[in-house]
Structure 1
Amino acid sequence: MSFPVGETAVTRQTLFTDVYLWIGAGPTRAPTDLLVDAPLIAAIGSDARALAAPDARVVAGAGRHLVIPGLINAHFHSPANHLKGSLPSLPLELFMLFESPADEALRPTPREIYLRTMLGAIEMLNHGTTSVQDDAFLMPGPEPDAIDAVLAAYADSGIRATVALDQPELPDADKLPFLGEIAAATSWRDAVHAPAPMAAADLLNCYEYLFSRWHGAADGRLRAAVSISAPQRVSVPYFEALVQLSHRHHTPLFAHMLETKTQRVLSQHQARFAGRSLVRYTADLGLLDEHTNVIHAVWVDDADLDLIAAAGSTVLHNPVSNLRLGSGVMPLRAMLDRGIPVGLGVDEAICNDAVDMWSVVRMAGLIHNITDPDSDRWPRATEVLDCLWAGGAQAMGLPDTLGAIAPGRLADLAMLDLHTPTFTPRNDVAGQLVYCENGSDVVATMVDGVLVAGAGRLTRVDQEALLDEARELFAARRPDLIEAQTAAREVLPLYREVVDRAAAADVGINRWVK
């Protein structure tokens, strides 16, 4: 099988022969055939070869390969793709000071944005991730050329991407408990009350551009979504406007909710929440619904989960990020017991330290084992894979077209070599996918019926040239980043006091392992 760089002649049909297929909750019992007629899966089994055109590309599995649905990265932030491993572990409220400092010297060029987005796409596609939901925070603001750079990278790479603009429009003092009080007697008093870089009206204009230019582009492979970032970070009118956009275009709405204990404490310290959790606050506004992707949901209680279930919302679980930032362990079993769809996400490269869904899958299969002494309530490998595929497809609003192998479904697929140490001997494939696989056994990735990656490289772009360019560019920008992060340390004590006070508060639940 060859994977020419810059391939322009797309073969409409691809015939996978003698491959195992992941159908339902496990692999087929024997090798079979799969015909793809781009962008859809056309046939499985004995009909596949009969229906294949003479010029169909043949991918020979030789009875030693497994084709699975492409992995779905249901929650991601691409702007930190170039910062992997660059920060120590810190609570979210402190971490955010360093991941995206608001410094004019760091204003990225469109080419920088394109390259850092492409870094994530390269890593995802080579490891079998075919779909991503990018909640992109574009500092200092999502101007059209920045939006174009993100979407152009996804278009060129061949990945399926849904992109929103994660831009708060309230001051920091409104987003965090205690901060205004703590800063009142300091030189930072005015800064914590300063308005966000872009007002709501300007952000809505950016969304108008995003939807008009990119929603449905690349034959539907690229879609726009909306993001409030988090309920405490936006005004009610702006929140309502984004919900209306979500409904009008039938796209997801991204909302970080109760990621940290500090966010749980916030509701007790700001009058607008009247003691209600962020989930209850959103539900009471009538803005929690089936389009809502509730991101993280670590510090939720039973009442919050009942509201999420009743609304038909999807929860996006980011277990590696939650550990990196010390946010806590999400109550997965309580969600699954209520029938809440759960998807899996990387979150971002800087707090996962790889754009790697396999590490997320493995952690989702492990971390919950230390939260309940009843081993019957620990997640099973098949449940984790169901979150990866069915939950991810639900989050993207594509439950009937993504996340499964069946005729009529989109041909977003990954092929793994089973003749490797990971699968030798072949014990339980579900368990080996969850606990053993690290992406190194992925030999081909297909999106929309097009082979977009194989043999460790993308087929539609010059991967080596892009990596060379990114390495040189971001090395040159490193001094500016270090200077901005050094300046951010000046305000660190204020935010640390916020986190410390919140950590000491009694909120009636605990999500930390002690």
Structure 2
Amino acid sequence: MSILIRSAHKVIGLPHGAVGHDLDILIEGDRIAAIGKDLAVEPARQSSMVVLDGRQRLVFPGLVNAHAHSNESFEQGLSQRLPLELWRLRTYAAAPALTEQDYYLRALFFGVASLRAGVTTIQDDVINLGFTPASVDGACRAYRDLGLRAWVTTSVGDRGLAESHAFLQLDDGASRAISAEAQMALFFRNRERWHGAENGRIQINLGPRGPQRCSPALLAQIGEAAERTGCAVHMHVLETRGQAVMAQQEYGRSAIAHLQDIGLTTPRLTINHGIWLTDADIDMLASNGCRVTHNPSSNLKLGSGLCRLRDLLSAGIKVGLGTDGLATSDTADMQLIVRLTALLHSIQSPDYERWISAQEALQMATVGGAATGLHDGNQGVIGTGFKADIILLDRHHPGFIPLNDPVAQLAFSASSDAVQSAIVDGRLVMHERRLTMLDETEALGVIAEAAERWRRDVAPATLAGAADLTPAMAASYHRSIEAFETETWARPLRSRRY
């Protein structure tokens, strides 16, 4: 397929951060073939070419959601005023196994909302505590049907609830029934089935659920598999104070130092959240080329803390942005995440030179996100030879009036309904707010019925099971906070809490 965007009012995200005016963009196949004014196209080719009028459009690179959990998509609005340790009981600890169709509908729901907000790539850390093919098969089918680019993880973890939390007194030995070898076999099965499907749009990565939830033997196998396949590894690391305490209790050092000893700190590793990092941790991540995803909405709602974002960027670490799951962020809107990123970190320092700019936030939502999927130099830029992942926004949307600075206004003023069209891998998957790959009304009707059945028939028992575990987890949480506030090793971290 060939697509020609004629006379785009402004093009944002050109190489070297340039902004163009009245430019044509020619797309051939899955790549941007040419950019310039009044591009000449042979008349014979025009009859088979999709031509988009760009005169009233602002053209941006498609946004990359670098960290999400589509399996949580029916749980927005379910929980509030809970830290991660207590929140996850309501979402995971007592939840029944989901079917492939469950995963499909949840990923489809998340994908539709994402596409409407200008997201063209989703890094989906789809959690599957049953360790079956259902999660990856369901999610990949959904993204295939939508035409989205998706990097989907096989989630792994062989340590139970009690042994992955400091001070938690709980008998949960049954949760360790699936061996590390069986989990890695599932990863290779998923990779053989899906990796490279749909012209490479779908890729399969590894998603260890956190160093505290993986034995050293499993982490070593993850490192070997990543080395052999070249896949990305996305892992939750140091999201909460409790996880920092657990690392000190378990390893006598930071979780990052533990991962480095095992050999996992390579450019293939992306750590999700990374809030409670020491200076030495940041140095280790930078020197080894590791990446980070920043998830401000989730971090705020769970009270996890503020990421040291400026320090990460100053160290040269590539950072992507993510929404996290709908059970914590309650949104798939990446424009909101760009806004939070550009606003939130101004309170960390009175030195305004260290504040995060709108341009930096957009870079993290495009180029930085691409880097977390190991697609540096391939996505996130509107340049000749780059993947054709592009969104077109209404220049007359109220958020862009008057048009002073399109990047700043994307971050601070516009809402996601400004996104009019989306091109993924050279294919027009949304045109004038209408999805082109499926019947959105029909799909959302099926999704709504499934979501209501879950809310009515499944959620009550899940929440009741979580309530049984809550007293023990609350006691563990409070003891962890006390340890963090009193232990000598945590003093440098406590001094940087804001």
- SS of the equivalent of 1:482 reads helix
Aligned counterpart in structure 2 of residue 78 of structure 1, from 45, 48, 70: 70
Q: How many residues align structurally?
A: 487
User: What's 2:230 paired with?
Assistant: 250
Instruction: Report % sequence identity.
Output: 33
Distance 2:285 2:105 in 1: 37
Residue identity opposite 1:94 in structure 2: L
Distance 1:469 1:32 in 2: 41
- SS of the equivalent of 1:427 reads coil
* 1:177 equivalenced with 2:166 (yes/no): yes
* 1:134 equivalenced with 2:124 (yes/no): yes
State whether residues 169 and 234 of structure 1, in contact with CA within 8 Å, keep that contact through their aligned partners in structure 2.
Answer: yes
Q: CA RMSD in A?
A: 1.7
Residue identity opposite 2:79 in structure 1: L
Aligned counterpart in structure 2 of residue 375 of structure 1, from 352, 359, 364: 352
State whether residues 162 and 171 of structure 2, in contact with CA within 8 Å, keep that contact through their aligned partners in structure 1.
Answer: no
1:68-113 Cα shifts (integer Å, max 9, x gaps): 110000111110011111112311111100012334xx32222221
Distance 1:512 1:469 in 2: 47
Residue 487 of structure 1: how far off its partner (Å):
2.0
TM-score (norm. length: structure 1): 0.92
Change (3 A) 1:373 1:146: closer
State whether residues 154 and 204 of structure 2, in contact with CA within 8 Å, keep that contact through their aligned partners in structure 1.
Answer: no
Tell which deviates more after alignment, 242-251 or 89-98: 242-251
Distance 1:112 1:228 in 2: 22
State whether residues 254 and 292 of structure 1, in contact with CA within 8 Å, keep that contact through their aligned partners in structure 2.
Answer: yes
User: What's 1:69 paired with?
Assistant: 61
Distance 2:18 2:181 in 1: 50
* 1:28 equivalenced with 2:19 (yes/no): yes
Q: Which has the higher contact order (CA 8 A, sep 6+)?
A: 1
1:187-229 Cα shifts (integer Å, max 9, x gaps): xx422x4443522121112112111100000111100101211
Aligned counterpart in structure 2 of residue 466 of structure 1, from 418, 437, 443: 443
Aligned counterpart in structure 2 of residue 102 of structure 1, from 91, 94, 97: 94
1:303-354 Cα shifts (integer Å, max 9, x gaps): 1000000110001100110001000000011111111111100111111111
Distance 1:435 1:38 in 2: 34
Distance 1:366 1:51 in 2: 47
Change (3 A) 1:216 1:497: same
Distance 2:478 2:496 in 1: 14
Aligned counterpart in structure 2 of residue 217 of structure 1, from 186, 190, 197: 197
Residue identity opposite 1:480 in structure 2: V
Residue 47 of structure 1: how far off its partner (Å):
6.5
Gaps of 5+ in 2: none
Distance 2:461 2:368 in 1: 41
TM-score (norm. length: structure 2): 0.94
1:131-180 Cα shifts (integer Å, max 9, x gaps): 01111112322x2244211111111110000111223211122211111x
Distance 2:78 2:186 in 1: 30
State whether residues 58 and 393 of structure 2, in contact with CA within 8 Å, keep that contact through their aligned partners in structure 1.
Answer: yes
State whether residues 94 and 466 of structure 2, in contact with CA within 8 Å, keep that contact through their aligned partners in structure 1.
Answer: no
User: What's 2:144 paired with?
Assistant: 155
Distance 1:197 1:355 in 2: 33
Distance 1:493 1:483 in 2: 17
Distance 1:511 1:386 in 2: 29
User: What's 1:112 paired with?
Assistant: 102
Residue 434 of structure 1: how far off its partner (Å):
1.2
Distance 2:200 2:355 in 1: 38
State whether residues 3 and 51 of structure 2, in contact with CA within 8 Å, keep that contact through their aligned partners in structure 1.
Answer: yes
Change (3 A) 1:407 1:481: same
Distance 1:443 1:27 in 2: 22
Residue 27 of structure 1: how far off its partner (Å):
6.0
State whether residues 169 and 198 of structure 1, in contact with CA within 8 Å, keep that contact through their aligned partners in structure 2.
Answer: yes
Aligned counterpart in structure 1 of residue 284 of structure 2, from 287, 293, 307: 307
Distance 1:511 1:498 in 2: 23
